[in-house]
Structure 1
């Protein structure tokens, strides 16, 4: 056990947060999958074991990605972008459709599906960190710096937004934060925002899911006039939260889990609050805030611009997604399809979240393991040779 712990490098508090979120995920998912197990005609334990296998697989990916020097992700980001763009296009045209959206690609022979937007988030953030760190000396050069950066952000945004607007908006927001940190001028950031606004208007008003988006906005703005079928999920999420009280009904005692269609995924926070009360909900918010705090410390201590931008982008992405999911559950936003990072049941979302944590830990590991500053004393007769360890 001590050997395993000694092999875990980087910020130990982040490792603790990940383990804690994994335990929360197992408890809450087990409570929320009763209806899903009934529909599939299987035992809840079999679904839980599959979820546990994904968590273990995610932890393994997290361990592998944290052992890799974060500088290698600069080169990997180019490859990811080259792969991601065609995959997003393929998903829009040939992807598996669910709720009028093409977000998944079926993996032949496995019975599993792959959500390409999860890869796109990781690809764009790492690519932006690379571009911004390498273009610092001529960051205001419109042709060589600004246009490639703006083009990558807007292209990924539109390809994701056509099927998954909420994820695209969060990724766009993270991209703007990275542009600010990367010293892009206010004028250029304003141009990117205007371009994003035009694309957003086009997706909402003219896109293939325009009726769904407009319906969700109207339901959120005027719930008293909404069709009960349209507000069903939001209404029962509010009922779950309101019935939880301060300390909740207790583990496994949720009743709204029988009504919420995505209780184990999009609305898992509502189930957590129903079972563990406002106290449990506040503790979970505190965990994500603490995670953001530890990541900001890594950003401040990172010696290289690429490491700082990489840790900032990934940590902002994870925490913004977490708070977006919780905000929807408590009625502060329209219904979306955003899972709670490392808590909601999911396949590719859990795996790519694990990789993101691993990359952040890789940056942290580089801070904790100084290179080039250590000195080595070697006795040689009456001489003492002082050498530098590379």
Structure 2
């Protein structure tokens, strides 16, 4: 047990980090391993791979993800801002490079191979973008002569432009929603609400009119008879078949027919084998992480930490909500992972990076130290 009297770097971290948040995140990671054991063997068998191929890779991705999460949670706000700036520039450049060098998969170019590893760089743009716009919004509240809000909007336009060209409207929607929430926190004028809402509506109409697969997904959602809704129908059926307590581990059937049962539809597999009760428990974990993070943000005296923790929590929670809503056929189908549960290396490590920053910025800090850090002063002890 670490004593409060210890003055080591680990003791300082242990007694200031939100341990309940850390425990909830660890519970999600454990659930991800269990659900991967349930959902991925049939997918591996269909591809002629070892039955535990995706389970092993899931754990292989989880190990560095835990390392990234813990390492980032030790960083200071200044180090987080600097690292986010570098991460954003590199990830945005790689995301743009996918347009020319990435392989086309289902009509989109989102992946690029670096040193033999497939990477989806847009996943790393998201948390870094949240940190940078939070920094700009915080500066706007302190210095009215700095065009921080305009710079934040310019960053949004740059990110959205690259994502739309891939095209990746799911990530575009996610980033835009989080940006609008943070912009609202800064006290934006109502005219900006109208402008951003109008631009979002216009963008949706243009996407519907010009991009066939977007139009097909929306039409299938509004009128299931207009196209193939096999995956969504099977996912919904799994909730009905599983009932409250599930069929039991290994007894599910949906994983044998769904091509993405280990990734986008792992929540449906969990519903069939473990029941709606377990799914509600998972949803409660996500809700706890988001609400507790928002509570920590509300109590923060530092504008940057308040904006950043709020943005990272909304990014995390909204992504989870979109995945679960797709599994329940509540919104049009969109390939988006369930944080720390779905299979995916880029998603896993980028989520760990974002949650690590959330933990770092929500750490308890004495008010005197916080004020000194924000003003650049160094506190020294007075002689007795």
> Which residue is equivalent to 2:375?
none
> Which residue is equivalent to 1:149?
152
| Matching of residue 16 in structure 1 with residue 23 in structure 2 | yes
Match 1:115 to one of 97, 120, 123: 120
| Matching of residue 188 in structure 1 with residue 231 in structure 2 | no
Looking at structure 2, the residues matched to 83 and 252 of structure 1 have their Cα atoms a distance apart, in angstroms, of 42
> Which residue is equivalent to 1:204?
208
- TM-score (normalised: structure 2): 0.89
Describe the superposition over 1:141-164 as per-residue Cα deviations: whole angstroms up to 9, x where unpaired. 7x9234322221122123213421
Looking at structure 1, the residues matched to 28 and 105 of structure 2 have their Cα atoms a distance apart, in angstroms, of 28
Q: What secondary structure is seen at the aligned counterpart in 1 of 2:119?
A: strand
Higher mean displacement: 318-327 or 67-76: 67-76
Q: What secondary structure is seen at the aligned counterpart in 1 of 2:362?
A: helix
Structure 1 position 250, deviation (Å): 1.3
| Matching of residue 334 in structure 1 with residue 332 in structure 2 | yes
> Which residue is equivalent to 1:164?
168
RMSD over aligned Cα atoms: 2.5
* Residues 68, 356 of structure 2: 8 Å contact kept: yes
* Residues 131, 308 of structure 2: 8 Å contact kept: yes
* Residues 140, 149 of structure 2: 8 Å contact kept: no
> Which residue is equivalent to 1:381?
none
| Matching of residue 132 in structure 1 with residue 137 in structure 2 | yes
Looking at structure 1, the residues matched to 120 and 309 of structure 2 have their Cα atoms a distance apart, in angstroms, of 23
Looking at structure 2, the residues matched to 89 and 375 of structure 1 have their Cα atoms a distance apart, in angstroms, of 45
> Which residue is equivalent to 1:278?
276
* Residues 301, 367 of structure 1: 8 Å contact kept: no
* Residues 136, 149 of structure 2: 8 Å contact kept: no
Please give the residue correspondences for 1:1-390 in structure 2 after superposition, counting only pairs within 5 Å. 6=11, 8=14, 9-108=16-115, 110=116, 112-137=117-142, 144-162=147-165, 163-206=167-210, 210-223=211-224, 225-227=225-227, 230-367=228-365, 371=369, 385-386=383-384
Structure 1 position 316, deviation (Å): 0.2
* Residues 163, 171 of structure 2: 8 Å contact kept: yes
Distance 1:259-1:370 versus aligned 2 partners, 3 A rule: farther
Higher mean displacement: 5-14 or 170-179: 5-14
Looking at structure 2, the residues matched to 260 and 308 of structure 1 have their Cα atoms a distance apart, in angstroms, of 41
Q: Is there any run of 5+ residues in structure 2 with no aligned partner, and where?
A: 4-8, 373-377
- TM-score (normalised: structure 1): 0.88
Describe the superposition over 1:240-286 as per-residue Cα deviations: whole angstroms up to 9, x where unpaired. 11101111111222111001111111111111111111111111111
Describe the superposition over 1:161-195 as per-residue Cα deviations: whole angstroms up to 9, x where unpaired. 34211121011001000001122222224323333
Distance 1:145-1:70 versus aligned 2 partners, 3 A rule: closer
Looking at structure 2, the residues matched to 44 and 370 of structure 1 have their Cα atoms a distance apart, in angstroms, of 55
Higher mean displacement: 288-297 or 90-99: 90-99
